[in-house]
Structure 1
């Protein structure tokens, strides 16, 4: 489903200290300009207690591109949308926390009816949008749109001259991709000590396209590091990475994020209904009845990508575990890690709490696979097994195809 957004609202704002900062953007003054010929709002076609459909709403009234230092409250204020409505959207967002991932360049589409917000669309790129639609006078509902598109492969190769990080960046890999490679091979090689000038590396990277346009998303399909007489390899198969012989490169996950067992006070339920409104309000995680100050553990090796506060989710942490897995920990009282930090399975990352909107002390834990929340208590998790006999032929075909591409890149 592709949408073409109408005339953008070019809005740069000098921002004072504000109620809610988008992500961890640094404060900086911006020039403020506003076109005189603002488009008129499109009247909503439905009643307040009926969620308006996208087809009814047509194109957004305003489109705003996120600038460094922006805050959600200031953007809403400039458009004349009330803070009450902003917090209604934030309350719906607690199930997905999409607003916290906004960064400069992302777009917000606003549909208004006489100054009243009826729909808000977050556009991260052409393959990923989140839409908040008014469901009643007091509530919004969200829908997430993800397009798979087409993934095109390319080989990136280079030679070690200086550090691996510098050499890989020079060849065209991003800092995040270099970090992923280091994490994948951390048990096989010490990148600072073992690599020598003249060692080589080859990476098959795929980039996502939708309708022929790049989305900016990439993933590592396979890689090879030629370190003197050694050959280190990694190949993605069924969402996990394995070496040349099909042995897993992933360490096993833990099922529970605490050292001891605690009562499950609320289970994963994507179809949970609000007790008053009767509307579906997903519960995308598992709640553990932990006393405040209970140590919270990383359930797998990974990189911390977010440590921040939310008015409803409270203090929370996000950890990414390679390309496929992500975990989230909500309502914390204290974080013991920082953004960008590498963590190991079983490492203490936080203390549980009662922050945000919470009915009592507890830990809310989520597991996401390929960008979607799953039941962490039942979903398949990495167990560090080798490729099974039934899948060996399929793995060998993918491995050999990627190796052929790497060999061809050497001329």
Structure 2
């Protein structure tokens, strides 16, 4: 509030107070004078701004969102986005935001006065990625504005994944995906069983997600109640991903050896499949089509498909099967359900994470028979097909993702290998021998360390 305004209000209230108090008894003058003084202080401190309040500490001006400048998706150069100091979409061209607990895209966009129509255009562009469906606390968002509104939206998940949505000439958004490969470093972890296996592995230095991956891998070979004994030894070879020296949370189980009093078991990664030390497969195969029988393919995988009306590139990252509503949809392989979501454009859809490498999606469903976090087996009925979301007719849209990228599920190599081919046997044996040697060296170093 300006000084001149304060002085004018002060003079006005002083004159009014004198006129009123001069006609009242002394006790009334004291009471009324006190009330006037409180009112005066309130008016002096009042802010007549019409700005919409923003929760403090959330919208940030100098968020270290990194926008890669690339010639191709593989060549990433980190350029920090510079944000202005006031969190207002009206006054400032750039805003950074860290997602808080309880946030949704809708509530975040509403606080910035970004229209629902713009949000829907982003969701439509995201249909082929579905990256924005499950924003979580800690994810980073970037907003760049111009006179026409939201010009660019940036979604960053962790240290390795970013999607940039840019508004085109016709108001629609196009996306560009960036995946930072980082570097992997093999680490050897040794320990003994004290209680159950996951907690024993965690005490030894493994992350709980890594421990559960091992138990899930060996569930067909080991009974984790009857085979485990206190004092049994285990070793884990795990490669962990680092970007600029910081662990990203991504890891690859390369080898596991369990040396127990009752049971001995091993698992080694080779050609994207897991085998025991004798070369026998530990994983079940995928099925090519997630249906009980073959149906006509109404639309094929096409990463360069052009929209017939907008002429924009709208990839078709899956295979469409012409099936009636209610047709049973089957899991393509063993895995864990990672999403069961209703989407404005994808409709009701299910996503299954099969292992570190493979992921499948099933869109436009009418009913889901599984829930998030549930383990499923190959061939298990998980849903009924439908016509939900933006769909021109009843069908099943099926996607297969390998290492985070969509591939043609009808032609891509899938885990069907049951044994290692003869010509690769020596390569497998050499790889197993190398990991076992590293495990033995780590164990010797651990034994030389003085006990605490």
Question: What's the TM-score, normalizing by structure 2?
Answer: 0.77
- CA apart distance, 1:69: 0.7
2:250 is paired with a residue whose SS is strand
1:94 is paired with a residue whose SS is helix
2:200 is paired with a residue whose SS is helix
- CA apart distance, 1:37: 9.6
2:335 counterpart (302, 309, 319): 302
Q: 1:85 — aligned with what?
A: 118
Q: Are 1:220 and 1:236, in contact at CA under 8 Å, matched by a contact in 2?
A: yes
Q: 1:213 — aligned with what?
A: 246
2:162 is paired with a residue whose SS is strand
Q: 1:14 — aligned with what?
A: none
Summarize the Cα distance change of 1:107–1:325 in structure 2 as closer, same or farther, 3 Å threshold.
same
Tell me how far apart the structure 2 counterparts of residues 358 and 322 of structure 1 sit (CA, whole Å). 30
Q: Are 1:251 and 1:383, in contact at CA under 8 Å, matched by a contact in 2?
A: yes
Tell me how far apart the structure 1 counterparts of residues 351 and 387 of structure 2 sit (CA, whole Å). 17
1:312 counterpart (345, 368, 380): 345
- CA apart distance, 1:38: 6.1
Q: Are 2:127 and 2:345, in contact at CA under 8 Å, matched by a contact in 1?
A: yes
- CA apart distance, 1:164: 1.7
Consecutive unaligned residues of structure 2, counting only runs of 5 or more, are: 1-53, 63-76, 84-93, 445-452
Q: Are 1:80 and 1:115, in contact at CA under 8 Å, matched by a contact in 2?
A: no
Q: Does 1:393 align with 2:426?
A: yes
Tell me how far apart the structure 2 counterparts of residues 57 and 224 of structure 1 sit (CA, whole Å). 44
Q: Does 1:222 align with 2:255?
A: yes
Tell me how far apart the structure 1 counterparts of residues 389 and 206 of structure 2 sit (CA, whole Å). 38
Q: Are 1:135 and 1:141, in contact at CA under 8 Å, matched by a contact in 2?
A: yes
Q: Are 1:62 and 1:110, in contact at CA under 8 Å, matched by a contact in 2?
A: yes
Q: Deviations over 1:10-55 (max 9, x none)?
A: xxxxxxxxxxxxxxxxxxxxx921689969xxxxxxxxxxxxxx99
Q: 1:350 — aligned with what?
A: 383
Higher radius of gyration, 1 or 2? 2
Tell me how far apart the structure 1 counterparts of residues 59 and 151 of structure 2 sit (CA, whole Å). 23
Give matches, 1:96-135, under 5 Å: 96-114=129-147, 116-135=149-168
Q: Are 1:81 and 1:115, in contact at CA under 8 Å, matched by a contact in 2?
A: no
Q: Deviations over 1:256-292 (max 9, x none)?
A: 1010221111111101010012221100000111111
Q: 2:56 — aligned with what?
A: 33
2:239 is paired with a residue whose SS is strand
Tell me how far apart the structure 1 counterparts of residues 391 and 268 of structure 2 sit (CA, whole Å). 42
Summarize the Cα distance change of 1:212–1:168 in structure 2 as closer, same or farther, 3 Å threshold.
closer
Tell me how far apart the structure 2 counterparts of residues 157 and 339 of structure 1 sit (CA, whole Å). 32
Q: Are 1:249 and 1:384, in contact at CA under 8 Å, matched by a contact in 2?
A: no
Q: 1:265 — aligned with what?
A: 298
Summarize the Cα distance change of 1:168–1:135 in structure 2 as closer, same or farther, 3 Å threshold.
same
2:133 is paired with a residue whose SS is helix
Q: Deviations over 1:53-108 (max 9, x none)?
A: x9999646111111111010111111221111111000011101001232211101
Stretch deviating more after TM superposition (244-253 or 383-392): 383-392
Summarize the Cα distance change of 1:308–1:37 in structure 2 as closer, same or farther, 3 Å threshold.
closer
Tell me how far apart the structure 1 counterparts of residues 132 and 164 of structure 2 sit (CA, whole Å). 11
Tell me how far apart the structure 2 counterparts of residues 71 and 102 of structure 1 sit (CA, whole Å). 7
Give matches, 1:152-163, under 5 Å: 152-163=185-196
Q: 1:16 — aligned with what?
A: none
Summarize the Cα distance change of 1:115–1:171 in structure 2 as closer, same or farther, 3 Å threshold.
farther
Q: Name the structure with the higher helix share.
A: 2
Tell me how far apart the structure 1 counterparts of residues 60 and 273 of structure 2 sit (CA, whole Å). 52
Tell me how far apart the structure 2 counterparts of residues 97 and 35 of structure 1 sit (CA, whole Å). 25
Tell me how far apart the structure 2 counterparts of residues 242 and 278 of structure 1 sit (CA, whole Å). 47
Q: Are 1:333 and 1:352, in contact at CA under 8 Å, matched by a contact in 2?
A: yes
Q: Deviations over 1:376-409 (max 9, x none)?
A: 0111111132222332233223212211222223
Question: What's the TM-score, normalizing by structure 1?
Answer: 0.84
Q: 2:74 — aligned with what?
A: none
1:277 counterpart (303, 310, 315): 310
- CA apart distance, 1:319: 0.8
Q: 1:139 — aligned with what?
A: 172
Summarize the Cα distance change of 1:357–1:157 in structure 2 as closer, same or farther, 3 Å threshold.
same
Q: Does 1:325 align with 2:358?
A: yes
Tell me how far apart the structure 2 counterparts of residues 122 and 252 of structure 1 sit (CA, whole Å). 34
